[in-house]
Amino acid sequence: MFGTLTPITQEAETLRQAMDRLVDQAVGGGPFRTLWSQAGSGTPLDVYGTEDEVVVLAALPGVNPGDLEVAVHQHTLTLSGAFTGSQPGDGATWYVRELPSGQFRRSLTLPFEAHADKTEATFEHGSAKTVLAKAEYAKPKKIAIGGGASQAIGAGSSK
């Protein structure tokens, strides 16, 4: 019975796929498009930025710092490693199993090129923090307005 999909489970699976697409369109259509493999897709991220850098925080419970790999290549940050997972004793019965286990790989495509040599990564209390410096050409630039105009643009002129 558990191996076959009933009409109710088929409908639930279709609903789950529709919700996945909806979330992917809402999140993936923004300035950050996330791509991830099946394993590790549940690795939650917080991403925020300034004019000079972007900070990526990843919750990685049960990952040993030595098992975490952080890679930067042009517009992509990739985190990969292994969750240690829970190891119950012999004869134990699982009642709830929500903590991740096994290999994971999560990639984040950035809307700018990052300097790999200026990227810093730290790991503390199950959380990885990666600070990516934006390439100079990707930073916003102020452009001076020239040309002998008698008034500065936007300087209190009223119409």
CATH code of 61's domain:
2.60.40.790
Q: Is the same domain home to 55 and 16?
A: no
Instruction: Please give the share of the chain, as a percent, with pLDDT higher than 70.
Output: 65
Closest CA to 98 of 108, 78, 83, 81: 83
Residues 90 and 25 in one domain: no
Count of structural domains, the chain: 2
Does residue 149 lie within any of the structural domains? Answer: no
Domain that holds residue 102: 32-138
Do residues 39 and 98 share a domain? yes
Q: Are residues 106 and 46 in the same domain?
A: yes
The pTM (predicted TM-score) of the whole model is 0.60
User: Are 6 and 53 found together in one domain?
Assistant: no
Query: Can you tell me which residue has the tokens 């952080």?
Result: 70
Helix then strand then coil, in percent of the chain rounded to 5, is 20, 35, 45
**For the sheet containing 45-49, what is the strand order?**
45-49, 53-59, 127-134, 114-124
Residues 61-118: tens digit of each pLDDT: 889 899 899 999 888 899 999 988 777 878 888 888 888 888 889 998 888 888 888 8
Residue 107: its H or E element: strand 102-109
58, amino acid identity: A
Residue 155 located in a structural domain = no
Asked if residue 67 and residue 12 are part of one domain, the reply reads: no
User: 104 near 46, Cβ under 8 Å?
Assistant: no
The predicted structure's pLDDT at residue 75: 85
Least confident of 28-37, 59-68, 75-84, 120-129: 28-37
Looking at the fold, whether 112 and 70 belong to one and the same domain comes out as yes
